[in-house]
Amino acid sequence: MAVNNKNTVDIVEKKPKSVLIKHTFIYIICIFLSILSILPFWLMIVNATRNTIQIQASSISLIPSHYLSFNWKVFNGKDFNPGVGFINSLTIAAGATVLALYFSSLTAYAQIAYEWKLKNAFFSFIMAVMMVPGQVTMIGFYQMCFRFGLTNNRLLLILPAIAAPSMVFFMRQYLQPALSMEIVHSARIDGAKEFYIFNNIVLPIMKPAIATQAIFSFVGNWNNLFTPLVLLTQPKKYTMPIMVTLLRGDIYKTELGSIYLGLTLTVLPLIIVYLALSRYIIAGVALGSVKG
Amino acid sequence: MKDSKKAYNYARFGYFFSIPFVIGYIIFSLYPILYTFTVAFSDLKGLTTREYHILWDDLFKNFKTVLGLATFKTSIANTIKIWVLNFIPQMLLALLIASWFTDRRSKIKGQGFFKVVFYMPNIITAATVAILFNSLFGYPKGPVNDFLLLIGAVDKDHLINFAIKKTAAQNIVVFIQTWMWYGQTAIVLMAGILGISPELFEAAEVDGANQWQTFWRITIPNIKTIMLFTLITSLIGGLNMFDIPYSYLAGGPDNATLTAAVFIYNQAFAGAYMYARAAAASIIMFVIICILSAITFYLMRDKEAAALRKIEKEARKKFKAKQSVAGKGV
């Protein structure tokens, strides 16, 4: 014990100089990385308020100008319509998130609360299909939609969320220690039906898991480019990520400020959500990894 | 007896509650996958065609065609190159940050802030990030060229047109991928390191291990599973990389950023409507992903545990053999 103490003292005494150098180094790297993270978005937001002539003169400016409404007017009558894109993305992301959360919780509950013959086989199946990348399904998915005349139908971007294997997995991992079957049993004795128990007793228990998954599901659906790009051909149904790819087109080449404004508008909702919920999001990233 | 009867009664709810998932999966995933496989062996092409025929004469015709295409080979090579070049610095940077932030001897202040900032690029729409970088690397006017001019790295007549330089385009895609993902990986690794029992670190400290030794002998072996998990998810994501290369320069210049996913998209949906070929290409990609994942699992498997299992098995065999010999003796 005494030796141990002596060691600690040694370390404490050694600390100041070498630790100071190391800390300075760490902080310099971290601050550099922070600037790297923030600067592109800062330039984007500032340039969204400047006009083409100002950007031509110098594209690096940290101080906003006053051409925001001018840049906004450029979008009039063009395919890039942030309002429409926002509504479409919001509908699809919210719809898909709600379905994924509800049915994943239900599937996870079936895994935890009941003993049935195919239970373990079904869980192995879910684990296996988690690894299947979406691109293998895409050609067949498109052909299926095309055959039934369902391209451009936004429901096809929402309904597949009913079967979200990785979310089922997460919900199951959460529910396993969190659910005590005694509560379920006593609800049964009180005459509650199984479906009622799930909706009114189990779902509230799952609130923390649902909140975490809600954020990731929403952001994932909002950012999804591939599926909507394949399925949607009518500009009035375009989601935000598709709208954004239009900005690369030639008609906006001369309106640099508008390009930056368009980009800003597509990420503003995300940045606001992120800054408001960052604590939960970071915790969720860490949680997902440990559980996975 | 009563309990088992009860369990029997309630068992059907296990099936009932799983039905929506099963139906959803069959309609929106399983059926499309089987459809993709069927199409891959057929002659389906054209925007308005609904009829197609299985190529019974030459079943693997599409696969042969795709594997013979120079652009497909380029796209596979690009995909692997871009993934490897982004994964290595991403993992190293993440390990470095994770080890700094979890260091028990010196606490780094502002960790919460740094984590939030490092993770931020990951949550922003990838398409937006790609187009933003397209603007930042603009030519002749763009922040990067302006910056290079400012520090005197280039002069006015030799500004860099990043969009037509193949290596530059590839490296920018690599940079964007690394920049978007290192924060996520760092947070995941940090969670892993914080999950290691503190006693292990204390014991190492008592034994006089320095930070380097502690890192290699305790931290790394204990987060191996999480690193494997990160590797596999990154591999699957990386081989399906679409958003950044498609939005940045649509696979250009001269196919330098053409990834397999962009190739498939171009075959099926951008003008050519070669659905059969695209389906064959996506199945080839799927097989490649499966093989690479299996190899990774094999290489990263817990060798000590495997060796232990082997020893145990042999011991059991010997024991059994001995027993049978003994049995015969009696």
DSSP B61-102: HHHHHHHH-HHHHHHHHHHHHHHHHHHHHHHHHHHHHHHHHT
CA distance B138 to A45: 16
CA distance A142 to A226: 11
Strand partners, B54: B42
Task: Return the structure tokens found at B129.
Answer: 């990030």
- In three-state secondary structure terms, B57 is coil
Q: Do B229 and B287 reside in the same domain of the chain? A: yes
Give me the CATH number covering residue B111. Answer: 1.10.3720.10
For residue B117, the chain A residues in CB contact (below 8 A) are: 33-34, 37-38
Q: State the complex-level ipTM.
A: 0.85
Report cis status (omega within 30 of 0) of the bond before B140.
yes
- Residue owning tokens 């909706």: A199
**Per-residue confidence in pLDDT tens, chain A, 292 aa:** 444 444 444 444 455 777 888 889 999 999 999 999 999 999 999 988 888 778 777 777 777 777 778 778 877 777 788 889 999 999 999 999 999 999 999 999 999 999 898 999 999 999 888 878 777 889 999 999 988 888 899 999 999 999 999 899 989 988 988 888 899 999 999 988 989 999 999 999 999 889 989 998 999 999 999 999 999 989 899 999 998 888 887 666 677 888 889 899 888 888 998 989 888 889 888 876 554 3
Nearest-Cα distance to chain A for B253, in Å, is 15
Contacts of A100 (CB under 8 A, 6+ apart): A161, A162, A164, A167, A213, A217
Dihedral pair phi/psi, residue B299, rounded to 5°: -70, -35
B329 within a domain of the structure (yes/no): no
**Per-residue confidence in pLDDT tens, chain B, 330 aa:** 444 444 447 888 999 999 999 999 999 999 999 999 999 998 888 777 777 888 888 888 899 999 999 999 999 999 999 999 999 999 999 999 999 998 877 788 899 999 999 999 999 999 999 999 988 998 877 889 888 888 888 887 888 888 888 999 999 999 999 999 999 999 999 999 998 888 888 898 888 888 888 888 889 988 888 888 888 889 888 999 999 999 998 887 889 999 999 999 999 888 778 899 999 999 999 999 889 888 887 877 766 667 777 777 777 777 777 766 655 544
Task: Return the structure tokens found at A170.
Answer: 């997460």
For residue A136, the chain B residues in CB contact (below 8 A) are: 33, 36, 282-283, 285-286
Task: Return the structure tokens found at B247.
Answer: 């939005």
CA distance A266 to B268: 27
Q: Do B174 and B225 reside in the same domain of the chain? A: yes
Residue type, position A187, single letter: A
Residue type, position B59, single letter: L
Cβ count within 10 A of residue B1:
5
Three-class HEC string of B216-273: HHHHHHHCHHHHHHHHHHHHHHHHCCCHHHHHHHCCCCCCCCCCHHHHHHHHHHCCCC
Q: Do B62 and B11 reside in the same domain of the chain? A: no
CA distance A258 to A238: 19
Q: Do B150 and B248 reside in the same domain of the chain? A: yes
- Please tell me which residue of chain A has the smallest CA distance to B207: A4
B179 within a domain of the structure (yes/no): yes
- Please tell me which residue of chain A has the smallest CA distance to B133: A40
- In three-state secondary structure terms, A74 is coil
Cβ count within 10 A of residue B125:
26
Structural domain boundaries of chain A? 2-71, 78-246
Which residue range is the domain that position B30 belongs to? 1-39
Q: Do B96 and B16 reside in the same domain of the chain? A: no
B312 within a domain of the structure (yes/no): no
Asked if A60 and B147 touch (Cβ cutoff 8 Å), the reply is: yes
Asked if A116 and B11 touch (Cβ cutoff 8 Å), the reply is: yes
**Interchain CB distance below 8 Å, B265 and A226:** yes
Asked if A11 and B105 touch (Cβ cutoff 8 Å), the reply is: yes
Q: Do B104 and B179 reside in the same domain of the chain? A: yes
* Interface A-B: count of C-beta contacts within 8 A: 290
Report cis status (omega within 30 of 0) of the bond before B253.
yes
For residue B195, the chain A residues in CB contact (below 8 A) are: 290
Number of domains in chain B: 2
Contacts of A86 (CB under 8 A, 6+ apart): A240, A265, A269
Residue type, position A236, single letter: K
B309 within a domain of the structure (yes/no): no
Q: Which of A33, A222, A244 sits opposite B131 (nearest CB)?
A: A244
Q: Do B81 and B3 reside in the same domain of the chain? A: no
For residue B116, the chain A residues in CB contact (below 8 A) are: 278, 282
Q: Do B35 and B62 reside in the same domain of the chain? A: no
Q: Do B148 and B201 reside in the same domain of the chain? A: yes
Nearest-Cα distance to chain A for B190, in Å, is 8
B52 within a domain of the structure (yes/no): no
Determine the Cα angle at A71 with ends A70 and A76, to 5°.
90
Contacts of B171 (CB under 8 A, 6+ apart): B85
Q: Measuring CA to CA, which residue among A102, A75, A116 is closest to residue A264?
A: A75
**Interchain CB distance below 8 Å, A113 and B13:** yes
- In three-state secondary structure terms, A212 is helix
Its CATH class, for the domain covering A78-246, is mainly alpha
Please report, for chain B, how many H helices and E strands are present, in that order: 16, 0
Q: Do B247 and B292 reside in the same domain of the chain? A: yes
- Please tell me which residue of chain A has the smallest CA distance to B145: A59
Residue to test with chain B: of A58, A136, A245, most B Cβ within 10 A: A136
CA distance B41 to B49: 16
- Please tell me which residue of chain A has the smallest CA distance to B279: A139
CA distance B42 to B55: 5
B257 within a domain of the structure (yes/no): yes
Determine the Cα angle at A126 with ends B16 and A196, to 5°.
30
**Interchain CB distance below 8 Å, A160 and B21:** no
CA distance B166 to B254: 7
Q: Do B82 and B136 reside in the same domain of the chain? A: yes
B321 within a domain of the structure (yes/no): no
Q: Measuring CA to CA, which residue among B94, B116, B120, B113 is closest to residue B190?
A: B94
- Please tell me which residue of chain B has the smallest CA distance to A53: B141
Cβ count within 10 A of residue A60:
18
Strand partners, B42: B54
Asked if B65 and B45 touch (Cβ cutoff 8 Å), the reply is: no
**Interchain CB distance below 8 Å, B285 and A135:** yes
B199 within a domain of the structure (yes/no): yes
For residue A289, the chain B residues in CB contact (below 8 A) are: 187-188, 191-192, 226, 229-230
Greatest pairwise CA separation for chain A in angstroms: 80
- Residue owning tokens 């840049």: A71
- Please tell me which residue of chain A has the smallest CA distance to B179: A37
CA distance A92 to A159: 10
Q: Do B90 and B215 reside in the same domain of the chain? A: yes
For residue A59, the chain B residues in CB contact (below 8 A) are: 138, 141-143, 146
- Residue owning tokens 């990160």: B230
